Structure 1
């Protein structure tokens, strides 16, 4: 039975815009109010996903959310026709309209936490959509995210779906952006690494002083229980609060893992020596811990280039490759480190650079754009095959973007009723193309 890791990339939505909604995300805030290009953003994401499929990796796509979210605006007291709701929100509470028009679901690393069947007691792949309670605009996503995941991974013989954790700050959960898995082979039981920002119940747990710690230990522990994981197969590591205050809002901004490799910055974790020793003890077989020193790459350079928000993938021939943003190649210090990395005795033998600047400017690199699902060929055959990226689907999606997406969007456009109609028309067509059924409120 073949085993591999599939990547499911989030399609960028038609309302992709720079509203600077994510406090603690330096890129998001620094590009606030600038014009965006939804068409270019969607095509950049598709091009990156197609390149991975062409490398021989299993690649799928996930649909975006319905935006603007008129249903939520009505819950907040705006009334009348859809056009009137948008206009009232724009006039009376523009920040609420911006939150309800965010296209942040493109960063599907935050969509859910996924545990493969090799790790779980019941031998199923488990999914828990993230509650994303720290940010209003993202907290609106879980119901539709759950619909999308269930429409793709529908066979209950192979897949188990859980509700998001209760929507409370004590259980703040940001999904796979704070979770990774190490193993010798994808079909072997692995060690799942849960990285948290602080513990609500531990008074000695350090906390960042400037920016919020979005993931709690209590949330991570709950997900491990829901997914029926063994204690020996989990390591809970606290993120260094000092680097959260420097813009490292998720662990995937400072570390990435794949199979028996963990690639991370030396300042990534709190109590690092103790936790890395625990990781070594629990991992079976050879383990490569690639620690990047501060004198080679500063935290600022790591955040500005998203060096660690790269995808670390295993190619069919067995070599590992980093899928990096072009920003890494454009920074002399980061590029020098990556050139040196290829000369070291590690499994990482290739680096491929991709232009995803529309996403980068809003705070997400290549790793943000994908949800990883380790699975075997039987499980792959059980999913909705229409979401798997082929030459034909790639062509159809590019034409779909051309027909429905604008090439320029500013904050004032979010109140345009025509944008809502364009978005709904695009999503209605997409659900038919991907055979997802009626997953959006406007379809029900």
Structure 2
């Protein structure tokens, strides 16, 4: 049986994205209509598509505002959609966050605040705490993105510099009922880390935030230092009575998307295994580990006999040391290719399920058994490009970028390897 491996990888990725489509996963989780008003607010790369799904299935009047990344907007009839910057916040996101806080204030016990949260909301809900300038948050955001901090560390800092994240949106809404529907883009599906948990009590502290900044040597302004030294800046904690009327629910998660992709592989006649849905670490290191697992399949038939498919998810990081055009998924794929060294006939795809690999226009990239040879013929030194964080440029030359445009959902990174032969 002949299999189009490139087509199969793309079909698996699409299945993973489709499994988290808001139109499919939001409606079943909608709460009952309240006696009073329904105010819809939210943030994230999937926020606009989640708002559209609510409008399509809501029985009654509603109003509200959600903020999403530039280019990820969808026109809604009753819910205003604002576009803002990601991953570094801008004034559009800051204004939208302040308006969201205004919309949930002054409500009654008969009213419902329906909060729609997805990955990217941390940058998009950019309402600096009192005394902190947006420029401070922008500077710290850039430093955190460049230093290789993982998502929990970044969000610990973000929560403590915000007027809306780390549970503060929820505590602005009483006595109204608050129901949050979240699409998970974080390892472990920790609700407090999805968009920095605007409606979830925060277990991290100001001391934790300072420790992260110190760990990575990130300089802070005098205003930020004063804020983090003030007890009044601490986030609301578990047990706070203001969360008594708050419900947080996951409507889509990475595991379900990986399972959907695995089914596509099995339907094509290939055994598959999910290595994990919460794999973190430096993208190039994770690529080396995945190459080792693929080699184990080819050499020893473990954990699967070849041909087989290995699938994983999670969120890698990149410590930027070079000046190239990167993206964590493209960097993972280039590292995997170098480590595999054309052995075991490996085909692989890694892509962000939101359609954007970092700040570039691609979702990710594809590795073929011929990638290293083609790169050499094109005069590309792949190891030098990897050292320069320039994986994007490699796959652009080889025409192996995965370009989808915005997918209007986000359940983190998707990775799949096809191991087709023995050494």
**So what's the TM-score if we normalise by structure 2?**
0.28
The structure with higher relative contact order (CA 8 Å, sep 6+) is 1
**So what's the TM-score if we normalise by structure 1?**
0.27
